[in-house]
Amino acid sequence: MLPVMIYHNPPSIVLAQAEVITLLDLNVPKWKEVVVARKMGRSIGAGDLATINIPVDSKDAGAIQGWRDRIAQARV
């Protein structure tokens, strides 16, 4: 089974290497947004950070967009 990690403030290297990145609201169990979903086996990293979850406030559109932008920049 691939590791799943919750990061409150992941560094850029983690954002760059993750296979899957999901934003989730810990206070709203059904709210989540998958930002990155790379096909397994196509990793550019070491493969030890397959999936990460980043907790967000789903009502804060600015913060969510900030994470989208930060993730996109890390993966350039």
Asked if 29 and 58 touch (Cβ cutoff 8 Å), the reply is no
The tens digit of pLDDT for each residue in 11-70 reads 999 999 888 999 999 999 899 999 998 765 555 555 555 789 999 999 999 999 999 999
Enter the pTM of the model.
0.81
Measure the CA–CA gap between 74 and 12, rounded to whole angstroms.
Answer: 5
Q: Domain ranges in the chain?
A: 4-74
Pairing of strands 51-55, 20-24: parallel
**How far is it, in rounded angstroms, from Cα 28 to Cα 41?**
31
